[in-house]
Structure 1
Amino acid sequence: MQLKGIHHVSAITANAQDNFNFYTTILGMRLVKKTVNQDDTSMYHLFYADEKGSPGTDLTFFEINNAGHTYTGNNSISTTSLRVASGQALAYWQDRFDQYDIVHDGISEQFGRQVLPFQDHEGQRLTLVSDEKNTGVAGGVPWDGNGVKAEKAVIGLGPVHFTIPDLTPTKKVLTEVLGFRHEGSYSLLDGREINVFATGEGGTGAEVHVEVRPGLQKERPGRGSVHHVAFRVEDVEELEAWRDVIRQKRLPNSGIVDRYYFQSLYFREPNGILIELATDGPGFATDENMEALGESLALPPFLADKREEIEANLTPLETNNK
């Protein structure tokens, strides 16, 4: 068994409308699913992705109304990366960020790739990474429906960054449980060393970058923080096999959870990072036509009879996804 790469990253926003406006109007991504948190239906769960909502391209947000400030620190998923096709695309984004007064650090290099670190309106830590030299997991299908041309568009998720106090237990889970391999390391401009782990075909869509900060306080999450990262599993049969492996390693876990659009399993590694394993299918077109993804509130069948109650508890979300 081998994990295929990153499936999705889920983060926290304090306001779904402002979040939608940023990720569609500024970043040009497609809202492919407007639904609710299945564990707390009082909050929206928004999925942004490529044109088809492909696994490995989903950046998702739980709306926690009035979520507090994030105090960044240890035991966290500290940065999420988004892939673009080329260095030329990065230059476009740098100019666009200046135009919209988006906080960014300029273009630099990490692990042999050009990158552009930036923050969204809530301080979410993000990095655009060029796929120009990528030979691993392929990117998704560019979406140009929100004003960003296809050759400049976000085409998927790039490496996720962990910040932890001790490398040993996290490395053990990544390599001995999940089958990642250590690909090398690189240094940031301030000298901090980052260890790189990869799975499957490797490349920008299948890496975890790990920074060790022993003296750093634990992160206090809020708006602009990441809740969990999910890795790709082929199908339910393989997910069941992963469940057995995780049980054998005596890692407390959720068991298999039906999310309707995919099947999932959750567990925490010893440094507290919440990890999900999720199947590639059946996908977001299960209950909506591909052309209409994200245009209305979608509820899985097991919540359908509560639609009236759920909608009454949600603030209307104005979306123009074309």
Structure 2
Amino acid sequence: MQQLTGIHHVTAITSSAEKIYEFFNEILGMRLVKKTVNQDDIETYHLFFADDAGNAGTDMTFFDFKGASKGKHGTNEIARTSFRVPDDKAVSYFLDRFEQFNVKHEGIQEMFGKKILPFEDFDGQLYQIISDEHDNGVAPGTPWKNGPVPEAYGIYGLGPVFINVSQFTAFKAAFEKVYLFKETASEGKYHLFETGKGGNGASVIIVDDVESSSAYQGYGTIHHVAFRVPDEAVLNEWVERLQQFNLPNSGYIDRYFFKSLYARLSMPILFEIATDGPGFMGDEPYETLGEKLSLPPFLESKREEIEAQVRHIDTVRSH
């Protein structure tokens, strides 16, 4: 059985598509590589922020569900997303940048031998910058070449995703058995799990949290995390694997930009497995990625209806 190769993407919920676009583009310097809609709820935007060309393993995505209430952080949730930067100097750069833009942060810290900088956005969504200075695992992407952050300091991939659980021993056993991650280190209540080549881009940090009350989903929280597989053939092997474990799952789903498989290892935590390709370059040129509303072919016939339902967001940067 081929292991998962790392983190593919993280999808979260925002209160404002406009504000999250500004936060990710102008402050974090992550490129909007695709402006599309939730394929299961066409009134909702699905925005993809990633590296220079939208490489797998680099994208954080957002839904802006109409009428969503604010979520609550706690135990039994996917709690925090990490963004990889090349080295410790880049972490310091973002500390200065967050001070400049009044971004709430917790200062530079260290975890599992890596410099980190925890911070949050206007919704209380939790993130951290993490240094690749001593990283030898799965390769990152490429920083946005024409963004507001210098390439030498730019975000170029996703790092460890934090998952808070109230029953750590049971969750660990199931996570290792089904998804084949292995625990490689621990610091107090924080447990580091890795897959594939390991390193920042192939890690999950499971937090043994018996003290917090249960989280609930809403804006400011994470909807799901996706793990990477190279292609459709391996994805189908994982479909069979989840069926062998009698784990309820979606089966194979074609998301056009990638192929997917969804399952809940533990309620309410949703995991996706997604292929590295085809990617985001098929329907827009590199120079204008994310500037128009992009729709998969099966929704193209509904373009007029969809454009009437989702409010316009100006994402043109090429000029």
Q: TM-score range by the shorter chain?
A: over 0.9
Q: How many residue pairs align between the two structures?
A: 317
**Higher deviation after alignment, 63-72 or 42-51:** 63-72
Partner of 1:228: 224
Q: What is the aligned counterpart of 1:254 among 244, 250, 253? A: 250
Q: Which amino acid aligns with 1:295?
A: E
User: In the alignment, does 2:315 pair up with 1:319?
Assistant: yes
CA deviations on 1:211-259 (whole Å, 9 max, x unpaired) are 1112322112211100000000111111111011100101000001110
Match of 2:161 in 1: 160
* Runs of 4+ more than 2 Å apart: none
For 1:270 and 1:15, the matched residues in 2 are separated by 29
Secondary structure at 2:266 match in 1: coil
Q: In structure 2, what is the Cα distance between the partners aligned to 1:320 and 1:185? A: 44
Task: Tell me what 1:242 maps to.
Answer: 238
For 2:198 and 2:315, the matched residues in 1 are separated by 35
8 Å Cα contact 1:111-1:186 kept in structure 2: yes
Alpha-carbon shift at residue 307 of structure 1 (Å): 0.2
2:42 & 2:134 partners in 1: Cα distance?
Answer: 42
Which aligned pairs between 1:191-202 and structure 2 lie closer than 5 A?
A: 193-202=189-198
Q: Can you list the C-alpha shifts for 1:236-289, whole angstroms capped at 9, x where unaligned? A: 111111011100101000001110010000000124310000001111112112
- TM-score with structure 1 setting the length: 0.96
Counterpart amino acid of residue 152 in structure 1: Y
Q: Distance in 1 between matches of 2:159 and 2:78?
A: 13
Contact 1:10 1:227 in 2 (8 A): yes
Alignment of 1:171-190 (within 5 A): 171-187=172-188
2:278 equivalent in structure 1: 282
Say which SS state the counterpart of residue 318 (structure 1) adopts.
coil
Unmatched segments (≥5 aa) in structure 1: 188-192
Matched residue of 1:311: which SS? helix
Tell me what 2:199 maps to.
203
SS at match of 1:285: coil
- 1:215 aligned partner: 211
Q: 1:32, 1:47 within 8 Å by CA — same for their partners in 2?
A: yes
Paired residue for 2:137? Answer: 136
What is aligned with 1:76? 77
User: Could you say what the CA RMSD is over the residues aligned between the two structures, in angstroms?
Assistant: 1.1
- Secondary structure of 2:91's partner? helix
User: Between the two proteins, what is the percent identity of the paired residues?
Assistant: 47
The answer to whether structure 1 residue 102 and structure 2 residue 103 are counterparts is yes
Aligned-partner Cα distance in 2 for 1:278–1:199: 15
1:284 match: secondary structure? coil
Q: Which moved more, 1:146-155 or 1:106-115?
A: 146-155
Q: Once the 2 structures are TM-superposed, how far is the Cα of residue 142 of structure 1 from its aligned partner?
A: 0.8
Give ranges in structure 2 of 5+ residues lacking alignment.
none
- Residues in 2 aligned to 1:176 and 1:150: alpha-carbon distance in whole angstroms: 39
Residues in 2 aligned to 1:131 and 1:215: alpha-carbon distance in whole angstroms: 31
2-side partners of 1:272 and 1:172: how far apart?
Answer: 17
Q: Is the 8 A contact 1:165 1:271 kept in 2?
A: no
Aligned residue in 1 for 2:50: 49
Is this contact kept in 2: 1:146–1:321, CA < 8 A? Answer: no
Q: TM-score, normalised by structure 2?
A: 0.97
Post-superposition Cα deviations, 1:57-79, rounded to whole Å, max 9, x if no partner, equal 00000112343222111110111
